[in-house]
Structures are given as structure tokens and as C-alpha cells.
Amino acid sequence: MSFDLTAAALLDEKQEWLRFSQQQSPADASSDALWHSHVVIQGMYCAACAFNIEQALMAVPGVQSVEVSASTHRAKVVWSQAKVLPSRWFQAIADAGYSALPAADNVQRQARLIQTRQALWRWLVAGFCMMQVMMYAYPSYVAKPGDITPDMVQLLRWASWVLSLPVLFFSCGPFFASALRDIRLRRISMDFPVALGMVITFALSSAATFEPSGRFGGEVYYDSLTMFVFFLLTGRWLELRLRDRTAGALDALMNRLPESVLRQQANGEFELVAIRRLLVGDVVQILPGQSFPADAQVLAGQTLVDEALLTGESRPQARKPGDHVVAGSSNLSAQVLVRVTQVGQDTQFSKIVALMEEASLHKPRLAALADRMAKPFLIGVVLLAVLAAAYWWPTNPNHALMIAVAVLVVTCPCALSLATPAAMLASAGALARRGVLVRHLQALETLAEVDVVIFDKTGTLTRDAQRVDQVWTASDITPEVALGMASALAKNSLHPLSKALVHAGDNPSNPQLQARDVQEIIGAGLQGFVNFEIRLGSASFCQEWLSTIPRFAEHAQVHLCDRERWLASWSFTEDVREDAQQTVQALKNMGVRVQLLSGDQTQAVRQVAQQLQLNEAFGACSPQQKLAHLQHLQANGHRVVMVGDGLNDGPVLAGAHVSMAFGQAAALAQSKSDFVLMGAHLSVVAQSLGLARRTMRVVRQNLVWAAAYNVVCVPLAALGWLPAWAAGLGMAGSSLWVVLNALRLSRVS
């Protein structure tokens, strides 16, 4: 396959790499920087093709690793900038007989549209010719001896031969191109036995047409040829459509960014620029119906945005000046001006896409095993076809060759190769639409087996923020005035309790006061002037000025005082997520044991556990103690899921069988997790577990079907009990059934 030299020159420009690549920082200063590139492969149809592409790329110096997915037709190539350029490994793909396009590129989307149209045209031509050939073949099936003259029989054969030519040279084009590529490179893929069967059938029928009295002049098989080509193309076209749906969540995400946007110039005018030219600080105009091209802050205008594919939040979210919007979300209602805050790889959108690309390329254990079996399986099929033909040849050469054709066509390793990844990709797509990103497809298999779920508390079962629970004030001070003074000081701190006071004081009925000369004493509190000098903080901090504070307020967490007297105190409670209790109960109903494991104080942990009716709750746990608790459960044979959020959850997330982290979690927690929960809904934990169990049921169904189909149909074909047209129908139907069965998972409510 040829490779465009102009395209090669463009690919070697570093600016172009950012369209489909991300840079990985070197482990040390002496190491070369590596690039992770994602491309879409064209011309591949089975697991053997994926194996061939991986071998071709790994032979290129500078290519560190390669992962190719037969289900999504995507490849991830890790390469060293110091040793190779993209054009070199793109050329290696072309030399192997395939073509590659940058993922998420507009050219790639256009190429896919062309590929779908060509597949539809080939299917239509094969269907039309098949119907005509069947009309010419029908008289020979129903006529009695002597009803049709030999001249008429020969005329019908010639007409069928002419109508088979478009099928052979147009509709069968992809099969022959792939088979010729395999012969040239001395390898084998699924299209080789299929193309061989087509050639044998047409050659045998042509021999009978050109020389009716010859050795092979007994029968013609144009109807079988056109029929099984039509069935194969039907299956392939439907697979093409269904594959886009099962892995469609990734494409839906990657294609959400616009190609260009209106950027404001220095004179106030707007110019149309490609989004790759956007820089932090640029002001852009987003019209209703457009997607935001980068993470940004709203400057002017109010609108509703759709973040469903990014956070799983199905309801439109209101955004006003000062609010932040994320790349990939859709502007629904009004024109807004936004200032870009993050671009390219730094956006939340890019991180989500990277996670989903990793998941789509990851090969589950069962899928990897099926891929390794594909090549020897195909070699065995060809040998079996030869043996079947040799066995039947002395009896009837025509019949022997058609039995060989049936054996070549009926076998379907594609069904085995698709059985696992099709189901898991459908589930990953369904979870992505709920705001759950699957980082490792293998984790779905493990998740289906878990019997214990461990939750962290802060940021997981509860929100990050605290809320004011009770307030006590001096007799001459109202709660509103006290809160106004406290929030004026608290605005100068990032402490969670300070944020809670600021949030509580953000009310028009409360006095909006200003503080000056504010100082924060770490671990103690705040001191500053709000009309007069005051302190806000712990009891010990306030008691440096006062001898004591009122007894009824001693159990409060934050106190306010001046140099002469106590003014007010507040206690706080954690805001348990509204769907936490529902989630815990749903997990219990599924037969799962639920535990709470937290580094927070034991009393606070018990309060949350009591609200959620959790019997197993452990507080004041260090990261080492959390990990030890997890390992104790695993040693007793339990399969454990850890749902965490904070930085100290890194070790236990890494040690769990399956780990989940919220999208707002610390970077280390996300890096150790198998699932990333982008939204604020905890209920997706139970939904993910339920869907994982259903996924494995579908995988088992697919594997049993694919294995049973080959075990039953291959001997039938070898014994001559399965005609070629039925073999073609069986092969197409086998792969199609596997994909359709997997597609049910994407519709789970």
C-alpha cells in the first residue's frame, strides 16, 4: 500500500503530533522523551490483522511498544522522538498492507464515512446480482429431466457467469486485497481462507461454463458464490455499524471539540482560528449549539451547558460570569464570551479522552488468549479444507472442492476474538455515558467477582465541604452579625471549615463586612480587624486572649472572640452525599459486604456510618493500616473494591482487586484506579458492579456460542452436509450474533 510523501512531511512537523499524540515525561534527565500516539487503522478485519500490525511496528527502531485493538481498529504507538519520526512508523503500517490515520482527525472521520459508503455499495451490488443469479438458477432446481434444453441451460450459465463478475471484481475487492497482502507478506488472516473459497467456487463454475462436457462440467455454483458473498458483506457492514456504536462513546467524546472558534482580537473584532492555535488567556465567543474548545471562565453572558458525556450529569448546568466551563461541554442556550484557562493536554477533556483511549486498546485476558489462538486456528482451517478435499476427491472432484470451500468459509475465529472485547467495550461505553471512565477493561471482569466494597469517607461518602450544624452567640450578638464577622476573616483561608463559614455567610441577609490585616496561624486559626481586632479558630487559640469560653460551646469546633470576651461558636457536620444511603443499600441487596475505612476521627466516622446504617466502620486509620485491613480481607479469600478520593488512598487503591476514584480526586488516587467517577453521583458504584456482572454473563454467552458454532459447523462442512451458501450465512451470522449480543449492554438503563 502506498504512502503519501506530502502527508509524511506534515507528520514530521512537531506541531502536527499534538493532534494525535501526548508526550510522556522521561523518568530521568538522561532518558529520551517518549510520545504516545493514537491512530485509526484501515484495512484490518480480524485479530490476525492486529497481530500483523503489531509485529510490523515493533520492527521499527525507536518504537517502544504497540497495542492494536481488533474491535475498535485503533492502535497506540509509543515511540522515541530521538530515534524515529511518525512518518517512519506510518510507512511501516503501509508496508504491512494497511493504512493509518490520526485518531480524532477530521480526515479520519471523512475516511470512515467513505469506508461505510463503499461497504454499502458493495453489499448492494452483491445483493442485486445474487437475486438475478438465483432467478437463473431456479429453473434448474425445479425442472424435470427434459424440461429445459441443453442450449437453454448453457445460456443460463453464461448469464450467471456475467452477473458474477461484478460480485467477484467489485464486491469481493476487500477480501482479495487482504488475501493478496497476506500472500505477499507470507502470513495469514481471516480473509485468506474466505478469498480462497471464492476463487475456487468461481473457477470451478467457470470451468463448467466454458467446457460443459469436461471433468468439472457437471454443476455450476454461481448462486452459492453470490449468496455467501452477500451474507459475508451483510455481516461485515453490520459489524462496521455496530462497532461504531459499541465503541461510540470514545468517538462521541473525541469529536465534541469544534474544528475552529471565533477569537477576539486586540481591536475587539473576532477572527476564525483553529482550536490548536488557542492560548491560555485568549477570549473566544461561543454560540448556542457549539462546544467549548478549552477549559475556560465565563466573562459575559449566561447560559446552560450540557456536561453529560464528561460528568454523567444529565441535567443542563447553569453558568454565569465567573463560572468555569470545561472543554467538550455544549453551550445550549445563549451566546457567551469566555477566557481560556487550559488548553491541549492540560484540559480535563484531554485527560478523559486519554483514559478512554487506554481502555479501548487494553486487551482483557480472555481477548488476548483468543487473539493468540486466531493464527494457528486459521492455519488449521486451511489444512482441514485440504484434507477434506483430498478425502472426497476420488468420489466426486466437484463435490470435493465445494466441501473445501464450505470448510474455508464456515470457520469464524472472528467470533471468538470479538466475544470478550465487544461486550466489554459496550459496557465501557455505557458507563462512560454515566460519567464512569474505565481505565482497564480487565477490571470489568474482576469487578463482576467482588464481594466486599470499601468506601473512604471524606470526599467519597461525604462531600469535600463541611456545613454549619449549630451556632452559639453572646447575648447581645445575633447569629447573622457573628457569621458576617467570621466569614470576613474566613475568606482569607482555604481551610475546609473556613470555606463552610464563607458559604454559610454568603446570604444577602447577613452583613457583608471587610477584614484587614488578616494573619493565619497554621493549625490554630485567623486573626485580623473587622471594625475591631478579633480571632477565629480553635478553643486553645481563643483562650490565649480569654481565660475560658462558655461550657455549652466547648464541644464546638470553631470559636470567635475579641481581646475581652467570647462572641460566638459554631459546630459543623459533614454533608453526606444524597445518594450514599441508596448506594449502600443497593450494594447490600446485591449480596455485597460494605465497609467504611477512613483516616478521620473515630467519632466522625461513626456518625456517618450510623446515618448510612453501616455496621463495619473503622476510623483513625493510617494509609498503612488501610492497606493492612485490605490485605487481611484478601487473605481470607474476599474480592475487594476500594472507592477512594484522597492522596492517602493511593496505596490501598493500588492494592485492591478493583479501585475507583472520583474525578476530583488527587492525581495519585486517579493514577492507581481502574475506574474514574467523573460526576458527583455515588450510585454509579452499584450500577458499575451490576453492569460488570451482566457483562461477564454476556461474555460467557458469546464464548460458548462461538466455540459451539465452530465445533458443530466445521465437521458438518467437512462431511459435506453444509453447502457453501449456508457456510457463508453461518460465518456472517456468528460474528453478527456476538456483536448484537454485546450491544445489549449499551442499552442497560
In the chain, % of residues over pLDDT 90: 16
pLDDT at 11 over 80: no
The whole-number pLDDT of residue 9 equals 61
234-270 pLDDT tens trace: 777 876 675 565 445 455 555 667 777 888 888 888 8
Of 437, 446, 439, 469, residue with least CA distance to 634: 446
634-651 pLDDT tens trace: 999 999 999 887 555 667
Strand arrangement, sheet containing 336-342:
270-274, 260-264, 283-286, 336-342, 295-300, 324-325
Mean pLDDT of 38-66: 82
550-571 pLDDT tens trace: 877 666 779 999 998 999 999 8
pLDDT averaged over the chain?
80
pLDDT at 628 over 70: yes
Mean pLDDT of 141-159: 81
The whole-number pLDDT of residue 668 equals 41
Of 363, 415, 39, residue with least CA distance to 239: 415
Hunting for cell 465501557 — which residue is that? 428
- Band the pLDDT of 659: cuts 50, 70, 90: confident
Query: Comparing 431 with 688, which gets the higher pLDDT?
Result: 688
Instruction: Phi first, then psi: give them for residue 64, nearest 5 degrees.
Output: -85, -45
Provide the residue type at 93 as one letter: I
C-alpha cell, 111: 475516511
The whole-number pLDDT of residue 163 equals 93
C-alpha cell, 469: 450544624
CA triplet 116, 199, 237: central angle to 5 degrees?
Answer: 15
Alpha-carbon distances of 242 from 75, 231, 377, 437, rounded to whole Å = 19, 16, 25, 21
In angstroms, the CA 98 to CA 110 distance is: 17
In angstroms, the CA 336 to CA 318 distance is: 12
Of 660, 516, 510, 488, residue with least CA distance to 587: 660
Instruction: Phi first, then psi: give them for residue 220, nearest 5 degrees.
Output: -115, 155
Query: Comparing 304 with 592, which gets the higher pLDDT?
Result: 592
Provide the residue type at 577 as one letter: R
Q: Pairing between strand 675-677 and 436-438?
A: antiparallel
The whole-number pLDDT of residue 669 equals 45
The whole-number pLDDT of residue 566 equals 92
The whole-number pLDDT of residue 561 equals 94
pLDDT at 311 over 60: no
The whole-number pLDDT of residue 535 equals 94
pTM beyond cutoff 0.75:
no
pLDDT at 529 over 50: yes
- Band the pLDDT of 473: cuts 50, 70, 90: very high
Of 584, 263, 559, 298, residue with least CA distance to 452: 584
639: Cβ contacts below 8 Å, ≥ 6 apart: 446, 449, 450, 451, 452, 657, 658
Domains in the chain: ranges and CATH? 5-103 (3.30.70.100), 111-248+359-424+699-747 (no CATH), 259-290+295-342 (2.70.150.10), 463-576 (3.40.1110.10)
The whole-number pLDDT of residue 29 equals 46
Count CA atoms closer than 13 A to 106's CA, side-chain side.
Answer: 6
- Band the pLDDT of 360: cuts 50, 70, 90: low
Alpha-carbon distances of 274 from 8, 285, 530, 542, rounded to whole Å = 21, 13, 50, 57
The whole-number pLDDT of residue 38 equals 81
Answer for the pair 467, 504: CB distance below 8 angstroms, yes or no. Answer: yes
Of 295, 342, 301, 339, residue with least CA distance to 320: 301
Mean pLDDT of 666-687: 73
Range among 312-316, 338-342, 352-356 with highest mean pLDDT value? 338-342
In angstroms, the CA 191 to CA 693 distance is: 34
The whole-number pLDDT of residue 253 equals 55
